[in-house]
Structure 1
Amino acid sequence: MAEKRYAGKWIFWGVFALLVAVAVFIALRPDPVWVSLATVTGGELEVTVTEEGKTRVKDRYLVSSPVAGYLHRVPLDVGDTVTPGQLLTSVEPLPAGVLDARSRAEAEAMVGAARSALNSARQKVAMARAEADLADKELVRLQALTDAHFVSDERLQQVESAADRAQANLRSATFDEEVMAHELQAARTRLEVSAARSSGNGAIEKVAIQSPVNGAILGIVRKSEGVIQAGEPILEVGDPSALEVVVDVLSFDAVKLSPGVKVRLTGWGGQTLDALVRRVEPVGFEDVSALGVEEQRVQVLADIVSPAEDWRSLGDGYRVDATFVLWSTEDVLQVPSSAIFSHKGKDHVFRAVDETAELAEVTTGRSNGLYTAVSAGLTAGDRVVRHPDRQLEAGVRLRER
């Protein structure tokens, strides 16, 4: 009996010590670290650049006034279709100015002076005609006496010369009379024709402003009638079915683009459209972001290649979201980029194995910022820790949030 009691004590104290040891181990064991886990999967991966852009008609024509004059009101509205040679509006000569009291008095005086000059010219014409008639009669009389040898040849030549001079003086006086008549008419016109007193007689010349292309009105700079100067813009014409997309891209991203790069257009209110980069401008410009940061940007032009019926409702100046596809593959093993960190100069992740963190070296490839391609170190189905804490080490127990 004593031996049984002695053995029972040892069993009791042994179990008690074991329980104490387990309790101490549990109490001193580090608590598991709460983490977010992600599953390594395979699938499509794209490296893209997304920026906001807008549509623009490729060929735009700014129609200007070829001459200075009075512009007629433009009867068309934005969006109206036009054809080559269609009359858009017209420009007339400027109306005559209004004469003030001083200018009218001067004009009346000029009319009087011109009238007097015309009367003087008419008197000179009458005098020249009388002299020409007298010279002609003298020439006829002497020619009759020449046959009877009563007049010398020298005298006859003198009379003929005098008759020619008299006719020339008559023609000159007649021309002077015509000049004075025109000057009188000009003086009367200046006095009688003005913006306040217009006769309204006679045809007015008009310069027709015609459409240069087949398309639609994109904008009207000057719709109301009024005085316009030569070269002043009137309206803008273009073909709205020939659209291009203009995107301002950061110069850091622009160097990765080239003609032929695929573009996806979204965010315009319709289905996703396909486009191709046509040109990357060689000159950048400075722009200020919404946060006030100065940025160097480059304009990139893209052509829409989707069927026209898919973007029929898309017009000039519409906003779009342009996603440039720099690299893509249909099937690649990928892991969240937030799970990768550098350790001893190489990329690593913490892999969750039996709720324990295991440090695993990985070989990475392309990344789009959210996911990174992995070519070695992981297999599909592995679970890795997102945003690993610096204090996280291999062997630490994990608990998923």
Structure 2
Amino acid sequence: MAQFFRRHLAKILLAAGLLLLLLIALRPTPLLVDSETVDIGPVVRTIEEEGKTRVAARFLLSAPLAAEARRITHAPGDPVAAGETVAVLDALAAPALDAREIAAARARVEGAAAALEATERERQALAAGAKLAAEELKRSRQLADSGLIAASELDAATAEAERSAALERSAAHRVRVARYELEAARTVLAYAGERDAAAGRVEIKSPVEGVVLRRYFESARVVTPGEPIIEIADPASLEIEADLLSADAVRLEPGMRVLLERWGADDPLEGRVRLIEPGGFTRVSALGVEEQRVLVIVDLISPREQWQRLGDAYRVNARFILWEAAEIIRVPAGALFRHRPPGGEQANREAPPAWAVFVLVNGRARLRPVQIGERGGRYAQVLAGLDPGETVIIHPPRDLEEGDRVRRRGGG
């Protein structure tokens, strides 16, 4: 027997080698897959929508009467001071007003005077509210220093004090506007013989300190009553408006955090939802589908130095933070898929399939049911089934099954 093996050793080795090569050739080729590691990090659930900036404190100055406007020298972007003359109107050669027009002009003067008084009372009420909010903020800071209240309560008191102060400033601006409107109404009476009509000149003054947002004409021309002349705005009152689907808008609440991205710089700006408007509107999408949209207003929280180059009607991308957590076990959303285990009772068959992933273990794909919590755009929260450090397959192929040999793309 030994002599037989020695005589045919070469043939036996050749046959064994051929058999080994045949087994290797018939062995299934491992599937190439992409993979990532389960880790601990932040998970954020958001709603993303395009928005644009708008100046909240804007004032459109129009002609109080028919006149000839002189050339407008202020250009868009020019700073103006409160009370600065931005347009000059010269009287037209017009016939005298009749008794009915004189009576109407006097009524407008009285109405403007009443509006000024009402606006001043509103300013006083808002000033009282701002003072109360400032005192409340002072007390909250003292309590926060003593550790008696949470930081979120201090943030809420700070936001309320800033909001009350902003409302007071806005009311003060409206008082100035009402005062100028009263002066404009009295000017109309000057043409009715109440004052010396030989003066024949009306100066349109800026009610607030700000910049020229736009001018509606430049060269001298005749203007009609109510025709817009120039628009002035306070650039510090910039806010964001975004129209969302009504189904998304109902998930938002005032005070929610917003990240403003793709506005021209790499770092996102911070914002907070101030108002979800109660009335919606219909808009036709690019695909021709009618959508019910809701306008959402966002206040900028980031320091003005970061966004001072933003202007009115600039495009931004708003990400509304519905839920976020900083340090939790997370899995890439691309690794998740729905899976129903075979067999089981009929009730279980009627239940929705559970979440599962393929875990990479020693070069093989192992099916693993998992329990998922909140889901963000990139990651999902893991409640059970996975541990940090395990490797999962991203976007597993449809033909991948339990126990299949796999190889990570790139040779890993």
Structure 1, residues 338-360: CA drift from partner, whole Å, max 9, x if none? 21111111111111111111110
Q: CA deviation at 1:22?
A: 4.8
Q: Check if 1:367 corresponds to 2:367.
A: no
Give the alignment partner of residue 66 of structure 2, picking from 65, 68, 74.
68
| Mapped partners of 1:69, 1:242: distance in 2 | 32
Q: Which residue of 2 aligns with 1:386?
A: 394
Q: Check if 1:300 corresponds to 2:296.
A: yes
| Mapped partners of 2:395, 2:357: distance in 1 | 10
| Mapped partners of 2:81, 2:18: distance in 1 | 98
Q: Which residue of 1 aligns with 2:75?
A: 77
Q: CA deviation at 1:203?
A: 2.7
Q: Check if 1:318 corresponds to 2:325.
A: no
Q: Which residue of 2 aligns with 1:398?
A: 406
Q: 1:61 to 1:18 in 2, by over 3 A?
A: same
Q: Which residue of 2 aligns with 1:331?
A: 327
Q: 1:266 to 1:369 in 2, by over 3 A?
A: closer
| 8 A Cα contact 1:223 1:234, kept in partner | no
Paired residues, what number?
295
Give the alignment partner of residue 50 of structure 1, picking from 33, 48, 69.
48
Q: Check if 1:377 corresponds to 2:382.
A: no
Q: Check if 1:267 corresponds to 2:262.
A: yes
Q: CA deviation at 1:55?
A: 1.8
After TM superposition, the structure 1 stretch with the greater mean CA deviation from structure 2, 324-333 or 6-15, is: 6-15
| Mapped partners of 2:21, 2:306: distance in 1 | 71
| Mapped partners of 1:336, 1:89: distance in 2 | 61
Q: 1:55 to 1:5 in 2, by over 3 A?
A: same
| Mapped partners of 1:41, 1:64: distance in 2 | 61
Q: CA deviation at 1:319?
A: 2.5
Q: Check if 1:253 corresponds to 2:282.
A: no
- Name the SS of the counterpart of 1:309 in structure 2: helix
| Mapped partners of 2:245, 2:28: distance in 1 | 48
| Mapped partners of 1:76, 1:11: distance in 2 | 104
Q: CA deviation at 1:303?
A: 1.0
Q: Which residue of 2 aligns with 1:160?
A: none
| Mapped partners of 2:52, 2:270: distance in 1 | 15
Percent of matched pairs sharing the same residue: 43
Structure 1, residues 291-333: CA drift from partner, whole Å, max 9, x if none? 6655443221111122223333333233223222221111112
| 8 A Cα contact 2:46 2:377, kept in partner | no
| 8 A Cα contact 1:92 1:204, kept in partner | no
Q: Aligned partner of 1:308: which letter?
A: R
Q: Which stretches in structure 2 are left out of the alignment for 5+ residues?
A: 96-196, 341-352
| Mapped partners of 1:35, 1:273: distance in 2 | 37
Q: CA deviation at 1:67?
A: 1.3
| 8 A Cα contact 1:222 1:233, kept in partner | no
| Mapped partners of 1:296, 1:354: distance in 2 | 52
Q: Which residue of 2 aligns with 1:36?
A: 34
Cα RMSD (Å) of the superposition?
A: 2.8
Structure 1, residues 23-78: CA drift from partner, whole Å, max 9, x if none? 55444432222211222121112122333322211121111111122222223222
| Mapped partners of 1:85, 1:336: distance in 2 | 59
Q: Which residue of 2 aligns with 1:86?
A: 84
- Name the SS of the counterpart of 2:45 in structure 1: strand
- Name the SS of the counterpart of 2:259 in structure 1: strand
- Give runs of aligned pairs for residues 112-127 of structure 1, distance below 5 A: none
| 8 A Cα contact 2:44 2:377, kept in partner | no
Q: CA deviation at 1:397?
A: 0.8
Q: CA deviation at 1:7?
A: 7.3
Q: Which residue of 1 aligns with 2:206?
A: 211
- Name the SS of the counterpart of 1:260 in structure 2: coil
Q: CA deviation at 1:206?
A: 2.4
Q: Aligned partner of 1:256: which letter?
A: R
Q: Aligned partner of 1:279: which letter?
A: L
- Give runs of aligned pairs for residues 135-214 of structure 1, distance below 5 A: 203-214=198-209
| Mapped partners of 1:400, 1:313: distance in 2 | 47
| Mapped partners of 1:76, 1:389: distance in 2 | 65
Structure 1, residues 208-253: CA drift from partner, whole Å, max 9, x if none? 3222223222111133222221111111122111111112333333
Q: Which residue of 2 aligns with 1:128?
A: none
Q: Check if 1:352 corresponds to 2:360.
A: yes
| Mapped partners of 1:314, 1:90: distance in 2 | 30
TM-score if structure 2 supplies the norm length?
Answer: 0.64
Q: Which residue of 2 aligns with 1:231?
A: 226
